[in-house]
Each structure stands twice: as structure tokens, then as C-alpha cells.
Structure 1
Amino acid sequence: MADAPQDRQATHGFELPLLLFAGFRSLIDQLHAELAVQGHPDLRPAHGFALQAVGTAGTTAGELGRRLGVSKQAAGKTADRLEALGYVERTDDPADARRRIIRLTPHGVDALVRSAAVFEELRASWAESLGAERLGDLEDALRTVVPGPAFRLDAAGWFGG
């Protein structure tokens, strides 16, 4: 096993998750600052997970809860907040009159489209700072060590306990 470069600072195991989280938090904070400027000042990080979980086809509160790893009641409260902010709407399920479907509104779709564009800009900024090859190596390395699908919507529920 090769030795670390001489100028590399010695690190401890507990630092890795903190560095990964700090990178995540930095990206998310920058995203939300830019989204606020672009007309989405009330959007919060947990809302982004929920909007992704609603998806283009919409979903029920129960399924939203499963996708987010939270209770149906917690998902319903999140949907209530997103509905009050204009990001989702509830409609009748044509297949079952007893169910309501949570769907993205044009404002919700706009938030997701803008988020995707901002994330592209943030990634480009990281590529400029780190170099495109180093960033690609970092992404490849993370794909190697992250088990299963790299993107799980239940992160919001996991952070909440």
C-alpha cells in the first residue's frame, strides 16, 4: 500500500463522514441561497427530498411516507406545507375515489428544474476548484464504496431519526 503524500494531513476515521457531510451541506446551502434568489425563498432541504419523492407521476401520502422513510402522518404534514407554499396540489385519484394524489404544480416543477440547473453550476464550480479529473475520481470513488443505489430519497427521514 502506497504511503500518503508528504504534504497530506493525517486524518482520523471520524473525519471522513464529517467531511462528506460538510460537502453535502455546503452544496445544499448554496443551492437554497440561489433558489431563494430565483423565486423559491421558502423551499427547505427536506422539501427537495419530498418533491423528488412526489415525482412526475404524483403519489399518495402513504407512498410518499414510504419513499421518504417517515410515517404517513409526517408525509401528510410535509405535503400540507408544500401545498400551502404552492409546490404540490392534491387531486382525486381516477382509479380510486377514496384516495387523493399529491402532484407537483408548475411552481414545484420549476423548483426542481432550477435545482437541477443550480446543481450543474455547483458541480462546475467544484470541478474548477478541484480539477475536472479529481472531481471525477472523487465521484467514481464514492460510487465504488456506496452500497446499492447511490440516491435514496429516505435521507430526510434518516436525518430526522
Structure 2
Amino acid sequence: MAEADPPGYELPLLLFAGFRSLIDELHRELAAHGHTEVRPVHGFALQAIGPYGASASEIGRRLGVSKQAAGKTVDRLAALGYVERADDPTDARRKLIRLTPRGLDVLTRSAEIFDRLRATWVDRLGAAQVNQLETSLRTVVPPTTFPVDVPGWFG
């Protein structure tokens, strides 16, 4: 007798568990490199700020949260030394949130760690299986840029 298909609810839970295991390991490694207080939401915020900086309103839109919620996250990142506020050279009325060298360091280290974590999956599953997983996900995931609005989406 053929084994029944697993229940549909398992797919999102397995995808989330895979995501969570990668993020948890990322943060263990970041902590070992001196980034002990950075949290997953901070990573999304740093991505939303980007290499050229952004206003609090832009960060809120990119994260899918209010300007006030974005401002609280920016305040925390500033207190931790990951971002700074600066005058916007194109508009004297607004402040630009920019990454500091510490903010750039955490993003650079994160990219390196994600490469190592992917390599670990390749070691465990095989390159063909990981490539197939990524190809399959690209087939079913809308072809847009990678979303950073997870904080607002979960909220």
C-alpha cells in the first residue's frame, strides 16, 4: 500500500523550521564574532536601510511596519552602533539612516555565514538536492526581489 501524502500543514512548518534553523545558527556565529545583541528583526531592518541609507518612512514601508515601529528599531540599532542618523543631502527636512562600519560588518559576516550554512546543507543533502530545492522554490515563489517585510507580515 502506498504511503499517503503528508498533511498540507507540514510544508509551511518544514519551510519555516528550515529558515529558523539557518537564522538561529547565523546568530550563534554572529555572537561569536562580537554581534551578541543583534536579532533577526535587526537583519531585516539593516537590509531595508541598504547601502545608501533610507528615511524612517522608507524603512517602515520596506519592513511593512509603521514609521513609529521602524523608528524604534532604528533607535535600538543606533544604540548598538549599527546605524547612524545623518542629514539628508537632498532634503534638509529629513534625516537619513545609514549603516555604520559595524552595520556593514554584520551584513558582510552574515553573507559569509549564509554561504557556509548553505555548504553545510550541501554536505548533508548533496549539491544536486540543494540545487533542486532552490530551483523548486524559485518556481513557486513569486519572481520579485527578496522581501524584507517579514516583521510587518508577522505583526
Q: TM-score range by the shorter chain?
A: over 0.9
The residue aligned with 1:15 is 10
Cα deviation for residue 148 of structure 1 reads 2.8
TM-score normalised over the length of structure 1: 0.93
- Between the two proteins, what is the percent identity of the paired residues? 65
Cα deviation for residue 124 of structure 1 reads 0.1
Matched, 1:32 2:20: no
| Deviations, residues 106-152 of structure 1 (Å, cap 9, x unaligned) | 00000000000000000000011010000000000000000132510
TM-score normalised over the length of structure 2: 0.96
Matched, 1:74 2:65: no
Aligned counterparts of 2:22 and 2:106: Cα–Cα separation in 1: 16
The residue aligned with 1:53 is 48
Aligned counterparts of 2:145 and 2:118: Cα–Cα separation in 1: 17
The residue aligned with 2:60 is 65
Aligned counterparts of 1:150 and 1:73: Cα–Cα separation in 2: 25
- Over the aligned positions, Cα root-mean-square deviation in angstroms equals 1.5
Amino acid at match of 2:17: A
Counterpart mapping for 1:133-148 below 5 A: 133-148=128-143
Aligned counterparts of 1:42 and 1:124: Cα–Cα separation in 2: 26
The residue aligned with 1:3 is none
Aligned counterparts of 2:84 and 2:3: Cα–Cα separation in 1: 51
Cα deviation for residue 10 of structure 1 reads 4.0
Aligned counterparts of 1:131 and 1:149: Cα–Cα separation in 2: 27
**Runs ≥4 residues deviating over 3 A:** 6-10
Secondary structure class of the residue paired with 1:98? strand
Amino acid at match of 1:140: T
Secondary structure class of the residue paired with 2:34? coil
Amino acid at match of 1:81: R
Q: Which moved more, 1:78-87 or 1:144-153?
A: 144-153
Secondary structure class of the residue paired with 1:24? helix
Amino acid at match of 1:122: L
| Deviations, residues 74-116 of structure 1 (Å, cap 9, x unaligned) | 0000000000000000000111111000000000000000000
Question: Which ranges of structure 2 fall in alignment gaps of 5 or more residues?
Answer: none
